[in-house]
Structure 1
Amino acid sequence: MKAVLVHRPGGPEALDYAEVPMPDLGERDVLIRAQAFGVGQPDRLIRSGAYKWMPPLPANPGNDVAGILEAVGTNVSGLAVGQRVLLSARDLAQRGGCYAEYVAAPADAVHLLPDNVAFEDAVCLPNYQVAWALLHRCGASTPPHSALIVGAAGGVGTSLVQFAKLAGMTAIGTVSTREKAAFAKQMGADEIIFYRDEDVVGRTRALTGGRGVSLVLDHVCGPEFYSYLGALDKWGTLVSYNAFAGLPTENAMGEMRKYLDICPAIRCFSFHIYDHDREGRREIMRTVIGHLADGTIRPSIFRRFKLSEVRAAHELLDSGTAFGKIVMIPG
């Protein structure tokens, strides 16, 4: 069978589409015949060797696969050949392992998919897991009424927009281009701020009648991070869920004390908090699968590639020009 391996971490050229042996099937395992693969930032971090939870080399960088059960182990109950499933590497002992035509995994790691859920939509759901946790676990004790979503046209960004609207919040998104603005609005964003040309904090306060937002959800960090404290309402929370631009250099407590009149909070969030909370993690996935099945969320796929085109898929991922999800299919 074909799979993707990284022997020496690096750029997209490090991805080797190769012939590998079929995986062994343990008595408590299932074998998935892949139909779709998600392409996301954890895959890029494994490929580049920068992931804190890096699997051993040679590594298969894929983290999300959806497909059909091809075989089940002799001690597996409740699952049958032909069923449709989703597997996230978050439910495996180590990350990666999902960029392959056939993937073996513990039976209790997969999620059954309803018949009306497309495989390509299903591999978008790990982004929705993150978005659900960001919106429903990171705020203050009072329910958030609004959110400023940095990068609202991205994979997690569009998931945040949809879940914010589903929860009755006002969703304000930042984007870089008119095309991304139109896309974020299509996904449900109430207001758009062009972060390259506008004062994000000033515009946020203007759009909220001076009140500010309950949550600022930021995956960039960098030198602008603490400025977002100025966009918060009373008891508001500034959440960092990645740091693509690096860490700010200012003193965190000093910056927070500039806004004592609103009692702000800063939270550093990672979905790895669920690494040792299996039921909590899987309950969130069941929730988002349910939302996808009943049509209350709608993933947007920016572009599809074949698995053999994995380098091109990662070149697009690295470019930062995609809005929505990048997906691969076998071939």
Structure 2
Amino acid sequence: MKAIELRRFGDPDVLEYGDVADPVPGPGEVLVRVHAAGINFSDVLMRQDRYAMTPPLPSVLGSEVAGTIAGLGADVDGLTIGTRVAAPLFAANISFGGYAEYVVVPADYIVPLPDGLSFEDATALMVQGLTAAYLLRQAPPQGKTVLVTGAAGGVGSILVQLARQAGARCIVAAASTEAKLEFARSLGADVGVDYTDPNWTAALGGAGPDIIYESVGGAITMDGLSALAPLGQMVIYGALNIQQFALGVPDLLGLIFKNQSITGFALVPLLTPPSLRAELTVLFEAAARGDLKVTIGGVYPLAEAAEAHRALEGRSTMGKLILVP
């Protein structure tokens, strides 16, 4: 089969399109023919060997796909060849294999797709949709002013919508261009702020946000912390925030005397096969009904994975980037 293989670390050009061995499902596993594979920033960092986990070489990146069941291993019941499904490999602690024509997934992690939901939209709702849904459980927004950084991205665009539906009093979207801010406002954000402005937190006004869902990292994290309201909570998630983070004494004093908190967030430890299937089913059905807008920022042929990585690194995209074999 065709796949994108990572044989050495480096810039996007190290992603090689070619032939690899076909995967074979073992007991309790399902072979999925890939129709759409998701690209995440963690893939970019793995390619650069900057992620928390160094991938073994050679590797096929990609931890989420949607497609059709092409084969069943022994002891798999209740699934049928040809069924349209989501295959969130990451939920099974599998970080590799998605940038390919076929992938093997444990049967417990297969989720059928509703009619009317495209493979591309289903892929966008796996890592990003689940992250947004569980972030709101960790820090419920009802009646609160919330700040969403990276609000035009895959997680941010869903987070804005779900926070609106969950009863947030005011949603502030932070992004890097006016086009992205206008996009976030179209999804339900009340206010947009450009965090490339050195004084961007001044536009937040008042006492500051009660909750910050933060994924951009670097100076944006620290700027947001300085603007957090008393009793406020910053929830830190995403691949970028593991690159650099340091609290000094003044920051700690602020946290202590303003009774603030910083909360870490990792999706996979919160998931079990039953909760994964239940939560994805809710997200899939909401999108199929039109109650949740999924934004696809670009669809690239599998052979052009390097171009997709360049677009994601350049921060020029909105929504989810997808590869199609």
**Does TM, normalized by the shorter one, top 0.5?**
yes
User: Structure 1 segments of 4 or more deviating over 6 A?
Assistant: none
Q: Structure 1, residues 4-35: CA drift from partner, whole Å, max 9, x if none?
A: 11011211111111112211121322111111
Check 1:196–1:51 CA distance in 2 against 1; reply closer, same or farther (3 A cut).
closer
Q: Secondary structure at the match of 1:213?
A: coil
Tell me if structure 1 keeps the 8 A contact 2:108–2:273. no
Tell me if structure 1 keeps the 8 A contact 2:142–2:167. no
Matched, 1:166 2:161: no
Tell me if structure 1 keeps the 8 A contact 2:29–2:104. yes
What's the counterpart of residue 303 of structure 1?
298
Map residues 121-136 of structure 1 onto 2, 5 A cutoff: 121-125=121-125, 126-136=127-137
Check 1:243–1:303 CA distance in 2 against 1; reply closer, same or farther (3 A cut).
closer
Which 10-residue stretch deviates more, 221-230 or 44-53?
221-230
For 2:98 and 2:324, locate their aligned partners in 1 and report how far apart those are by CA, in whole Å: 12
Map residues 62-101 of structure 1 onto 2, 5 A cutoff: 62-101=62-101
Unpaired segments ≥5 residues, structure 1: none
The aligned amino acid for 1:104 is V
What's the counterpart of residue 266 of structure 2?
270
Using the TM superposition, give the Cα deviation of residue 44 of structure 1 relative to its aligned residue in structure 2, in angstroms.
1.3
Check 1:27–1:261 CA distance in 2 against 1; reply closer, same or farther (3 A cut).
closer
Q: Structure 1, residues 136-175: CA drift from partner, whole Å, max 9, x if none?
A: 2135xx8452211112111111121111111121211112
For 1:85 and 1:224, locate their aligned partners in 2 and report how far apart those are by CA, in whole Å: 37
**Alignment RMSD (CA, Å):** 2.2
Q: Secondary structure at the match of 1:98?
A: coil
Check 1:136–1:151 CA distance in 2 against 1; reply closer, same or farther (3 A cut).
same
Tell me if structure 1 keeps the 8 A contact 2:91–2:268. no
Which 10-residue stretch deviates more, 176-185 or 286-295?
286-295
One of 210, 214, 230 as aligned partner of 2:210: 214
When normalised by structure 1's length, the TM-score is: 0.89
For 2:229 and 2:247, locate their aligned partners in 1 and report how far apart those are by CA, in whole Å: 22
For 1:224 and 1:107, locate their aligned partners in 2 and report how far apart those are by CA, in whole Å: 40
For 1:254 and 1:243, locate their aligned partners in 2 and report how far apart those are by CA, in whole Å: 26
For 1:303 and 1:215, locate their aligned partners in 2 and report how far apart those are by CA, in whole Å: 30
Matched, 1:291 2:292: no
Q: Structure 1, residues 52-111: CA drift from partner, whole Å, max 9, x if none?
A: 234422111111110011122232111001111111122334311111111122111211
For 2:217 and 2:51, locate their aligned partners in 1 and report how far apart those are by CA, in whole Å: 18
What's the counterpart of residue 112 of structure 2?
112
> Percent same amino acid among aligned pairs?
32
When normalised by structure 2's length, the TM-score is: 0.91
Check 1:29–1:272 CA distance in 2 against 1; reply closer, same or farther (3 A cut).
closer
The aligned amino acid for 2:233 is T
For 2:226 and 2:121, locate their aligned partners in 1 and report how far apart those are by CA, in whole Å: 36
Q: Structure 1, residues 264-319: CA drift from partner, whole Å, max 9, x if none?
A: 111122224336x5544444333322322332211111111100111111111111
Check 1:97–1:243 CA distance in 2 against 1; reply closer, same or farther (3 A cut).
closer
Map residues 133-282 of structure 1 onto 2, 5 A cutoff: 133-138=134-139, 143=142, 145-169=144-168, 170-197=170-197, 199-205=199-205, 210-242=206-238, 244=240, 246-251=243-248, 254-258=250-254, 262-274=258-270, 277-282=272-277
What's the counterpart of residue 322 of structure 1?
317
Unpaired segments ≥5 residues, structure 2: none
Using the TM superposition, give the Cα deviation of residue 189 of structure 1 relative to its aligned residue in structure 2, in angstroms.
1.5
- Equivalences, count: 322
Tell me if structure 2 keeps the 8 A contact 1:32–1:102. yes
Tell me if structure 1 keeps the 8 A contact 2:63–2:94. no
Tell me if structure 1 keeps the 8 A contact 2:41–2:239. no
Q: Structure 1, residues 238-289: CA drift from partner, whole Å, max 9, x if none?
A: 12214637434442x64143365641111122224336x5544444333322
